[in-house]
Structure 1
Amino acid sequence: MHITLGQIRAFVTVASTNSFTRAAEVLALSQPALTNRVRQFEEALGLRLFDRNTRSVELTHVGRELLPIFLRTITEFEGAVVNARDFVSKTKGLVRLACLPSCAATMLPELIARFQLDHPNVTFEVEDALNSAIATLVREDRVDFGIGMADANDDDLEQIKLFDDAMMLVHPEGHPVADAPTISVETLATYPLILMNRGSSVRDLVDGAFIAAGRTATPACQVRYMSTAVALVRAGLGLAILPSTAVEFRSQANVRARRIQDPAFTRTIVLMRRRHSPVRPVVQTFIDSICVAAGSVSCGFIE
């Protein structure tokens, strides 16, 4: 099977314009040349992609199924070309990263805004994802690096410590827990808890802290979004355990937050990237700026 980028582009352009004539104008080809490219593409695939008549051209059923795939192929190729041109430049290019939602909503916007003051031509693709997905995105080279929770088992990833993120106990204003001298697992077990769904980094941390204390974290409610947890706290349905990086409980009426001093309720946030993998200059420059902002230059890699 011999398929060229020109054939794919011809198919996508005809499909987008519903006209061989207009597509030929867009691609600066003669109509016979365009028709030949589409015919060769169909022959290479062994499929009929268009229904043609003297008045119109329409995609066949299989053509409609394949169009999104080849549109994505063209887009990814053009993005690769742009990145290749900008590879040696620290002032242009694309930075792809995955980040915990709590960090993406707090520290990341300021970091990007500050970076773009000196690098206005750099664009960003941000995947806000669960911690388990971040490592996968980094390993599969779908992002340049990730910002998530440290994991001692990720031997194939380099992890740069950024900061420690302590858990906060979010409670209604005037709740008795506000007067407790300390917050322990025993204290938390006394009240209904609103916890994040299993699979989130916050829930993993909470479950681990309870298990270490010989208890089980049993939620009165479990939710996907931190904003939902705060709303349930405001309604008096329980206490929530959220990271200090969460914006959802800040400046909320009738809701207060108190740091849980127990070290078991603290997660280490790291920048992770593929070990021994080349890093484009613009990406390395942004990573350096994150490390400086986080004060992690002296921390180095977590081995």
Structure 2
Amino acid sequence: MSISYRNMLAFIRVAESATFAEAAEKLHLTQPALSSAIKKMEEQLGGKLFSRSTRRVSLTPEGQTLLPNAKRLVNEWDETFHDMQNLFAMQQGKLTIAAMPSFAESKLPALLNDYHRKFNNIRLRVLDVVMEATIDNVLQGNAEIGFTFEPEIADGLIFKPLFTDEFIAVMYPGHPLAMQDTVPWHELLSHPFIAMNRGSAVRRWTEQAAQGPGQLNIIAETGQLGSVGQFIAQGMGISVVPAICRQQMESRGLLCCAIKDNPLKKPVGMIRSQRGGLSVAAGEFWQLCERAYTRSENNSL
């Protein structure tokens, strides 16, 4: 049994008006059409909802029981309908994004600012997590969009490249390599090296690149690129980091330079789940990011 919204509203209007004529006028219906709607509803429920006289109608005890519940259901539907209209019109909603810290600090703020200026009723939440956690959050549905290096295993994901990151060498002022504008890759291998923790993608890529000409002289490792910079600032060693960390490293007084014959060039972009589509809010942000990097004259760092 399914009672239509229209018939439920007709019942409420008759109960509030006490006459079919008045209720029919409010509903912009003919009296026969209104009477038919009430009759159908009574047949579906299995009993009378109104006691009828020549002048007025009044609720039966069963009708009195139904009225507050009917009002609640209609109000909930009206609110739900209104909320959905607002969602599709971008008048309310939320958007959760996951991003590796290097992107969250360097690139994401400008993108979010452009989005917020256009859709200021959308509440934004950013999960500032490492690459692996960014991927997991998107796969698990905790975030609709993630910003990360291209996943090596992309099962269940859609990846949209935005630019290519060429890793850079980072060192403290006064380091023997600091006088060079460009550092050959092989010269980095003999110096004390600050690495990311084993298991991270950056650590894996760096070690893979070092296996040809030599081995890294790792003297310390950490789980965050920001901590890598802190160790270098103390004069403990040098490192190789994504170029999107340049601003973060230079803010600590460190020197960044290009790597000659650089073996570390990785696409950076957006990911989303292959399961289902994006919400309207997420879809607008995805398109905004695509347009922003399409307009860019230089898609590499």
> What is the TM-score normalised by the length of structure 1?
0.64
**Residue pairs, 1:165-204, within 5 angstroms:** 165-180=165-180, 182-204=182-204
Q: Is the 8 A contact 1:145 1:273 kept in 2?
A: yes
- Number of the residue aligned with 1:301: none
Matches within 5 A, 1:156-167: 156-167=156-167
Matches within 5 A, 1:12-23: none
Aligned AA for 2:249? F
* Counterpart position of 1:138: 138
Query: What do the CA deviations read for 1:76-120 (whole angstroms, capped 9, x no partner)?
Result: xxxx99985654233431111111111011111111112111111
Structure 2 stretches of 5 or more lacking a match? Answer: 1-79
SS of the residue 1:154 aligns to? coil
Paired with 2:96 and 2:288, the residues of 1 have a C-alpha distance of 15
TM-score normalized by the length of structure 2: 0.64
SS of 1:137's equivalent in the other structure is helix
Equivalent residue number for residue 278 of structure 1 = 277
Whole-Å separation in 1 of the counterparts to 2:118 and 2:287: 14
Change (3 A) 1:144 1:260: same
For residue 176 of structure 1, give the secondary structure of its aligned residue in structure 2: coil
Aligned pair count?
Answer: 217
Quick one: distance in 2 between partners of 1:107 and 1:230? 19
RMSD: 2.7
Matched ranges for 1:1-303 at <5 A: 86-180=86-180, 182-211=182-211, 213=212, 215-246=214-245, 247-253=247-253, 255-275=254-274, 277-295=276-294
Percent identical among aligned pairs is 21
Task: Report the Cα distance in structure 2 between the residues aligned to 1:153 and 1:251, rounded to whole angstroms.
Answer: 34
Q: For the pair shown, which has the larger CA radius of gyration, 1 or 2?
A: 2
Using the TM superposition, give the Cα deviation of residue 271 of structure 1 relative to its aligned residue in structure 2, in angstroms.
0.5
C-alpha separation in 1, matches of 2:165 and 2:108 = 15
Q: Distance in 2 between matches of 1:285 and 1:93?
A: 12
Decide which moves more: 217-226 or 111-120: 217-226
Secondary structure of the corresponding residue to residue 220 of structure 2: strand
CA contact (8 A) 2:186 2:213 kept: no
Q: 1:98 to 1:249 in 2, by over 3 A?
A: same
Letter aligned with residue 206 of structure 1: T
Structure 1: which amino acid aligns with 2:138?
V
**Deviation (angstroms), 1:278:** 1.4
How far is the alpha carbon of 1:285 from its aligned partner? Answer: 0.6
Where structure 1 has 5 or more consecutive residues not aligned to the other structure, the ranges are 1-79, 299-303
Q: Distance in 2 between matches of 1:192 and 1:83?
A: 58
Contact 2:171 2:238 in 1 (8 A): yes
Q: Measured at CA, do residues 153 and 251 of structure 1 come closer, stay the same or move farther in structure 2, by a change above 3 Å?
A: closer
C-alpha contact 2:185 2:259 (8 A) present in aligned 1: no
TM-fit CA distance, 1:197: 1.6
Amino acid at match of 2:234: A
